Amino acid sequence: MLRPGRDDDAAGIVRLITDCWSEYPGCVMDLDGENPELRALASYFARSEGALWVAEDAGEIVGLVGTKSLGGGEWELCRMYVAARMRGTGLSDRLAYQVVEYARDAGGQVLRLWSDTRFDRAHRFYERHGFVRDGAIRPLFDRSNSIEYAYSKPINGVVVRVLDAAAAASAARSLGRVLSACVENGASISFMPPFGVDEGEAFYRRLASQVANGGRVLLGGWVNGTLAGTVSLDLAMPPNQPHRGEVQKLLVHPSFRRRGLARALMLAVEDAARGAGRWLLTLDTLSGDAGERVYRAMGWVEVGEIPEFALLDGAYHGTRIFWRKLERGPAGS
Ligand SMILES: CC(C)(COP(=O)(O)OP(=O)(O)OC[C@H]1O[C@@H](n2cnc3c(N)ncnc32)[C@H](O)[C@@H]1OP(=O)(O)O)[C@@H](O)C(=O)NCCC(=O)NCCS
């Protein structure tokens, strides 16, 4: 059903996009004035090393996606549209994976996209696929008065990014899914099962607002395009400890472990701490847990254990305290 798009698909493509836009008040199609490339969309993408795919059902075009190279290893996902009757069938997932695969095979490292601020269903879709807000919004000054959000995600290998407030808010659901999976998988990280994705999302929304007010640094970690891990640094220390930060909630989704993501997250959070002028870091972790092995392997110093610190599976377990000193800045800096 999915096949490479052709220039002579134009009529079906225009119909699909016009139908999708008509779901949002004020979005209008001005084919010749604003979207002339739709008349030969396959050629348009081919001119920038890209490609176009369409999905057909009963002779009608019901799905569309294109991609083009932006240069420097960056690619753009464009013109992602799925007919109302095909939503929730997995077609949109297949279209998005098609683009990631194509861009990665062509050596792409980052996939970007623009999405109209009104297209809330699309934002949820992109966020589920690991995209996060990245950079300023842009107004198009077109007949639809479009204002667009920028999204992006790394698509190749293990990559960690510091999330600003907009990125953190847009990552809340994906990170909530990671948190829920870790708690359900037996991790001792404040919460107890049953702990659903909604609760995890609410937790990361609160963290996003702390990022917005400067009280916290939040990092996201991707494995081949999936947002699969996170760690955060609490900066809200008392006035006599301006040099300290506490590393919290190092999490890697159970399906993405032992690929070096936790290590990459810890190196990046140490960098972020240095950038924030914090050179004495602390953390605690359940005795005997994989976290303990990560921190030891990375040279953190162990202080000792507090026995019976936290409840897990009906029994009390000990917690170990670790610290690490980074290169020191001047006192009071
Ligand atoms: C702890 C956790 C984040 C590790 O994630 P990860 O991505 O698998 O870790 P990495 O692949 O980066 O491993 C880094 C190193 O830690 C050590 N390590 C990690 N998991 C280990 C395990 N299960 N057994 C032995 N060593 C382990 C190894 O030295 C590893 O390096 P190696 O794979 O080259 O041998 C993950 O298990 C997790 O999310 N656990 C639940 C949440 C949790 O307990 N977090 C800690 C809260 S303080």
Q: How confident is the model over 291-322, as pLDDT tens digits?
A: 999 999 999 999 999 999 999 989 999 999 99
Average pLDDT of the chain, as a whole number? 96
Ligand 1 center to 263 CA (angstroms): 8
Amino acid 84: pLDDT: 96
Ligand 1 center to 221 CA (angstroms): 14
Examine domains 2-154 and 158-325 and report if their fold is the same: yes
Q: Is the CB of 158 under 6 A from ligand 1?
A: no
The residue whose C-alpha atom lies closest to atom 22 belonging to ligand 1 is 290
Query: Could you read off the pLDDT of 50-100 as tens digits, one per residue?
Result: 999 999 999 999 999 999 999 999 999 999 999 999 999 999 999 999 999
User: 315-325 and 280-286 as β-strands: parallel, antiparallel, unpaired?
Assistant: antiparallel
Closest CA to 173 of 221, 103, 216, 125: 125
Q: Is the CB of 254 under 6 A from ligand 1?
A: no
Which amino acid would we find at residue 46?
A
DSSP 247-293: EEEEEE-GGG-SSSHHHHHHHHHHHHHHHTT--EEEEEEETTSHHHH
Are 167 and 133 spatial neighbours (Cβ–Cβ below 8 Å)?
yes
Are 244 and 323 spatial neighbours (Cβ–Cβ below 8 Å)?
no
Q: How far is residue 138's CA from residue 115's CA, in Å, rounded to a whole number?
A: 10
pTM equals 0.94
Which CATH number describes the domain made up of 158-325? 3.40.630.30
Q: Cα torsion for 66, 71, 75, 78, to the nearest 10°?
A: -40
The residue whose C-alpha atom lies closest to atom 32 belonging to ligand 1 is 258
Are 10 and 75 spatial neighbours (Cβ–Cβ below 8 Å)?
no
What is the CATH T-level fold of the domain 2-154, as seen in this structure? Aminopeptidase (3.40.630)
